[in-house]
A and B are shown apart, each in its own frame.
Chain A
Amino acid sequence: MSFTKGKRLLVVFAGGIFGLFGAALVKLGNPPNMGVCIACFLRDIAGALGLHRAAPVQYMRPEILGLVLGAFGAALATKEFRVVGGANAFTRFILGILAMIGMLIFLGCPVRALLRLAGGDLNALLGLAGLVAGVAMGVWFLNKGFTLGRAMPQKKVNGYLFPALITIFLLLLVLQTPFLFFSKEGPGAQHAPVLISLGAGVLVGVLAQRSRLCMVGGIRDFILFRDAHLLYGFFALLGAALAANLILGSFKPGFAGQPVAHTDGLWNFLGMALAGWSVTLLGGCPLRQLVAAGEGNTDCAATVLGLLVGAALAHNLGLAASPKGVPAAGQAAVLVGLLATFFIAYFNSHALLAKSPQQGVGPDAKGS
């Protein structure tokens, strides 16, 4: 049993450190209530690469680069680096796009939802409620036999491609390559010193890899198995960030006027419901996808590309929310996204397909 207790301590530690960094990085220059946000920072990276041209949100965020490299290093060091893939990478790519659109309607990933709440942004409560609802939808389909299939071992080189790409991004940042886009103002222009951001990312990457920290995994496992293990990490992150914000005087409770946030509760809820549902089908939150891609899972690398493309689409097509609210196109995109997620979930669920209209005609049902 000490095995389980040790692991619990690790997941609490990982969540707690992450929460502290979330609060501290804001003080060091990152945007308010956005010390770390996987969705926003991938959106900034998409901008830095010119995949979208939204001038205020372009920066090669070292936190994300460090996170992947930290997870990669930890996986190598513990011999957990395993190159696998081939489990519906394209479907994962599409789900990544949908998840990102949902998160950019809410303006944050599950990590930022907690950091926003820890900063007093009560709009995050609607987002978190949506997240739980979305995860519950995903769990319902998992219970109906949803699967995107089995990943098979692949040649080692294919697993090194993603960390290599991230290393190139890091070099481009360090060398200040002129063809990268960097915001002059707006959230993209607000950032902590590169080395501190990178170091924080590496440490969180190592801890997340070792502890399997996952923001939706906690909610999912609690609904599925009443297993609260990963929820300890979830609440440790919230608690640590809240305590740090209280000490730093950064806790300002309310709905209106919160930084990089809007007050449209319905769309906060629905955006995160879309995100929660799609990432539950993907097997983990955006943080977990980055870590798994660093561990050699090429399907998760495809998911990360989907997240990047989703961010690019959200800004190029004017879907993303802003502090002014959620554009009509963004609202439509969420509804289309929910419908698309439903179709993907339904048609990949064994038990639902077995109950098709021809019930009783085919071979004997296996039971459940």
Chain B
Amino acid sequence: MQKEVDARGLLCPEPVLLAKRELEKMSSGTLRVLVSTAAARENITRLAESKGWKVEAAAQGEDIILTLTK
């Protein structure tokens, strides 16, 4: 089961808050986070990497899809 957070169209720090809330419920696995700005991508990447998650980013249309795995 892959979890997903849709943080498109939200300004800082909301995308990070949403991602953080999900990550706190998981000890491992995969979380997909959809964002629409590079700032949100960088902020979530920083948070996730600091907590030991691996982050991969890919474009999806104009949006960015982040795959967080641990």
Interface set of A (CB-CB < 8 Å, partner B): 1, 3-4, 7, 78, 80, 82, 84, 87, 142-143, 147-148, 150-153, 212, 214, 217, 220-221, 224-225, 227, 229, 282-284, 292, 295, 297, 299
**Scoring B residues 1 to 32 as 1 if CB is less than 8 Å from chain A, else 0, what string do you get?**
00000001111111011001000000000000
Q: Is the CB of A150 within 8 A of B49?
A: no
Tell whether A220 pairs with B13 under 8 Å between CB atoms, given A82-B37, A212-B42: yes
| Residue B38, interface by CB 8 Å | yes
Main secondary structure of the interface of B (DSSP, over half): helix
What residues of A have a CB within 8 angstroms of the CB of B46 in the complex?
4, 7, 227, 229
Of B16, B37, B42, B62, which one neighbours A225 at CB under 8 angstroms? Answer: B16
Measured between alpha carbons, how far is A283 from B12 in the docked complex, in Å? Answer: 5
Q: Is the CB of A217 within 8 A of B12?
A: yes
Q: How many A-B residue pairs have CB under 8 A?
A: 67
How close is A133's CB to chain B, nearest CB, in angstroms?
18
6 A/B residue pairs, CB under 8 Å, sorted by A: A84-B36, A87-B11, A150-B9, A212-B42, A221-B13, A227-B50
Q: Is the CB of A147 within 8 A of B10?
A: yes
Of chain B, the residue at the smallest CB distance from A368 is B21
Measured between alpha carbons, how far is A151 from B14 in the docked complex, in Å? Answer: 12
What residues of A have a CB within 8 angstroms of the CB of B50 in the complex?
227
For chain B, the count of residues having a C-beta within 8 Å of the partner chain is: 22
What residues of B have a CB within 8 angstroms of the CB of A148 in the complex?
11
Q: Is the CB of A284 within 8 A of B11?
A: yes
Within 8 A of A (CB), among B45-70: 45-47, 49-50, 62
What residues of A have a CB within 8 angstroms of the CB of B42 in the complex?
7, 212
Q: Is the CB of B49 within 8 A of A151?
A: no
What residues of B have a CB within 8 angstroms of the CB of A84 in the complex?
9, 36
Of A4, A80, A152, A227, which one neighbours B38 at CB under 8 angstroms? Answer: A80
Of chain B, the residue at the smallest CB distance from A8 is B46
Measured between alpha carbons, how far is A151 from B9 in the docked complex, in Å? Answer: 4
Q: Is the CB of B14 within 8 A of A142?
A: yes
Of chain A, the residue at the smallest CB distance from B62 is A82
How close is B5's CB to chain A, nearest CB, in angstroms?
13
What residues of B have a CB within 8 angstroms of the CB of A142 in the complex?
13-14, 17
Tell whether A152 pairs with B20 under 8 Å between CB atoms, given A82-B36, A147-B14, A229-B46: no
